Amino acid sequence: MSASLGDVAALAKVSKSTVSRYLNDGYVSSDKRERIRAAIESLGYVANRNARLLRSNKLNSIALFVPTVEHPFFSCLADRVEKFLYERGVRMILVSSAGDIAKEKEMIDMVGEKMVSGCIVVTHNLIPNLPENAPIVTIDRHFGPTIPCITSDNYEASLRALEYLYESGCRHIGFIGGRPLVPSEVNARLAAYLDFCRKYQLMPVYSYETFDHGQEYEVAKAFLQANPNLDSVFCGSDLLAYSVYQLTPKSLILSRFKIISFDGITEKLFSYVRLTSVAQDVTALAKMAVEVLLDRLAGKPTKEKYVIPTRFIRGETA
Amino acid sequence: MSASLGDVAALAKVSKSTVSRYLNDGYVSSDKRERIRAAIESLGYVANRNARLLRSNKLNSIALFVPTVEHPFFSCLADRVEKFLYERGVRMILVSSAGDIAKEKEMIDMVGEKMVSGCIVVTHNLIPNLPENAPIVTIDRHFGPTIPCITSDNYEASLRALEYLYESGCRHIGFIGGRPLVPSEVNARLAAYLDFCRKYQLMPVYSYETFDHGQEYEVAKAFLQANPNLDSVFCGSDLLAYSVYQLTPKSLILSRFKIISFDGITEKLFSYVRLTSVAQDVTALAKMAVEVLLDRLAGKPTKEKYVIPTRFIRGETA
DNA sequence: ATGAAAGCGCTAACAG
DNA sequence: CTGTTAGCGCTTTCAT
């Protein structure tokens, strides 16, 4: 068995409390401090986290729930969330829920079991009966007025991108997006598109169905084939936009066909072209999610919605 | 405060041990069983995991260490590992270590603290002084003879792919790969290439440097520009291969220029072309890693190396 | 089949 | 500054 705090105390000839204080920034005289240090080293002592958490109820780990970590947006988000949590000494449990509602419901159990102190979630399902003060924040999803939602300025950003297309002369602007299964800020992208069409008296031409990650290319292909007369497409994700890009003859791009994407986070994957895009600030989203959740855990009041500004990036496709 | 096992016992008028047995598949008479069930329900009782782990030392969570979860190979791996662990009731802590050795060393602490029961790791650094029986398995990395390594049949698969190019008439075959910083099975891909060149008396033309994720396109571009006379390239990753694909005029591909990639897992991202590739079976790698680690935790003997077969997928590029 | 009692390893009052 | 005394919530002998 590994050494316990008691073993350290015995070897250093001090009380367990003194060792505990040594471990937790308490005041310990320098001679004892040194004896404890030596004892810890010679025993190879490592504090047992379960015991510590059981007793102290301190901040534990955080769970991140995503539909699938294989999707670039979510793997990027996972990376950032992990980094911000790590900076604060908090570990991240990742749940790739694949839309499985039973799995997503476990966020409640994990908190109840005190396995994690809280959750950052972006799920496919609504979780019923969340307590008002549940230690949960969401990205994009609306779970209710008391559960904070961190999101980009989807509506305004989409409108700005669409206006940009309009100013560039586009009058046959299509929209492709993936429809979320739950109330989500993502819907604001379509809402902006529809409002935009109404404003300029344009005929809306769009595809907005629910599909799995991996279907982007097929969805884009079907949309373009069904609507050959477009002069531009506003896409709800990078993956859709790259698909449209691949499906369009290079000679037409920019001059006679424009593409704008939403997300703007896949430059590491698709370095061969800089898409014109509404770039979500995933780092800021992650940071805000972490901060709001920690505030909430600390009992501070939190808002219903936190909006992170996007950046419009002029690339080579619009 | 939330209800404890003691509260349940009191309400159900049984002892704490009986409740504990109820919770752990012990024999409990049916009347008490029902009383306990009712008490648990009315109190909304959830077992405290920390207390349980402290006392029982049972199987806890597992940590997965990857260089960066943003890379498609690792996000895919993370997804599969999470799923297999979840099936067995084990949670996954994800550490995206970014090559930070201090962060990677924490795998030792996390085990020592009993925060996790074990780790599945693919790191950028060697972790010194790992105990012989450390509850750790690696993917591709060699940490020493007593730490199991799960890997694909890199050497044989690479050779097979190269022979395929040779049989297709290629005589100017280049190789691009990312050099790992630690002893890794990945190096077998280059080794196979060099052996292959020796066998057929071909001049090796390759790039094998360490670079960060996101640099693939630049690396491929520099390589192709420096070596314009190649008739084919064998790439150490999908991302390199897609970069080569993008950099090559479509009219040349297959007829006068062939590309083979290693990994073969990014079809969800790059649906517009089916690369000819050596496809790693990430699902099998993940499953094996989980099984070997759990075996090890159960005290069963484990081997030094587990080799997962790859599949050669004939796509549109070779 | 059940209960009493003893701790897992730690932290948190409370005295001194 | 330090030690003593109690537990945190659970599982696990050991009786019965």
Q: How many CB atoms lie within 10 A of CB A288?
A: 20
| pLDDT tens string A242-261 | 999 999 999 999 899 999 99
Low-confidence ranges of chain A (pLDDT < 70): 1
DSSP state of A147: S
> Which among A75, A92, A237 is the top mutation candidate for probing chain B, defined by the most B β-carbons within 10 Å of its own β-carbon?
A75
Low-confidence ranges of chain B (pLDDT < 70): 1
CA of A22 to C1' of C11 (A): 12
The CATH number of domain B55-151+282-307, selected from 1.10.357.10, 3.40.50.280, 3.40.50.2300, 2.102.10.10 = 3.40.50.2300
Compute the distance between CA of residue B155 and CA of residue B236 in angstroms, rounded to an integer. 12
Closest CA to B236 of B172, B190, B173: B190
Answer whether B271 sits within 8 Å of A114, measured CB to CB: no
Query: For chain C, which bases have at least one atom within 7 A of a protein Cβ?
Result: 1-13
A50 interface with B at CB cutoff 8 Å: yes
| pLDDT tens string B263-315 | 999 999 999 899 999 999 999 999 999 999 999 999 999 999 999 999 999 99
**What is the three-class DSSP state of B62?**
strand
Q: Which pLDDT score, from 0 to 100, does residue B188 have?
A: 97
Closest CA to A137 of A282, A295, A310, A265: A295
B112 interface with A at CB cutoff 8 Å: yes
Decide: CB of B24 under 7 A of nucleic strand C: no
Query: Do the domains A154-281 and A55-151+282-307 match in fold?
Result: yes
Answer whether B115 sits within 8 Å of A214, measured CB to CB: no
The A residues from 184 to 223 touching B (CB cutoff 8 Å) are: 213-214, 216-218
Decide: CB of B114 under 7 A of nucleic strand D: no
* pTM of this structure: 0.95
Coarse DSSP helix, strand, coil percentages of chain A, rounded to the nearest 5 percent? 40, 20, 40
CA-only gyration radius of chain B, Å? 25
Per CATH, the architecture of B154-281 is what? Answer: 3-Layer(aba) Sandwich (3.40)
Amino acid at B144: G
Give CA B61 to chain center in angstroms. 17
Give CA B315 to chain center in angstroms. 24
Compute the distance between CA of residue B311 and CA of residue B318 in angstroms, rounded to an integer. 15
How large a percentage of chain A has pLDDT more than 90? 91
**What is the three-class DSSP state of A90?**
coil
A29 interface with B at CB cutoff 8 Å: no
Q: Which pLDDT score, from 0 to 100, does residue A206 have?
A: 98
Q: Which pLDDT score, from 0 to 100, does residue B143 have?
A: 92
B30 interface with A at CB cutoff 8 Å: no
Answer whether B75 sits within 8 Å of A54, measured CB to CB: no
Q: Which pLDDT score, from 0 to 100, does residue B60 have?
A: 87
B76 interface with A at CB cutoff 8 Å: yes
Answer whether A48 sits within 8 Å of B95, measured CB to CB: no
Q: Give me the residue label for tokens 């590491």.
A: A268
CA of B146 to C1' of C10 (A): 33
Amino acid at A166: Y
Burial B32-45 (b: 16+ CB within 10 A, else e): bbebbeebbeebeb
| pLDDT tens string B18-36 | 999 999 987 899 999 999 9
Compute the distance between CA of residue A68 and CA of residue A71 in angstroms, rounded to an integer. 6
Decide: CB of B250 under 7 A of nucleic strand C: no
Please check whether residue B190 is in contact with residue B210, taking contact to mean a CB–CB distance below 8 angstroms.
Answer: no
Q: How many CB atoms lie within 10 A of CB B75?
A: 27
Q: Which pLDDT score, from 0 to 100, does residue A99 have?
A: 87
- Structural domain spans, chain A: 5-48, 55-151+282-307, 154-281
CA A89 to each of CA A224, A295, B123: distance values in angstroms, whole numbers, following the listed order: 48, 15, 20
CA of A23 to C1' of C12 (A): 14
Tokens of A286: 């992650």
Q: Per CA to C1' distance, which residue is closest to C3?
A: B15
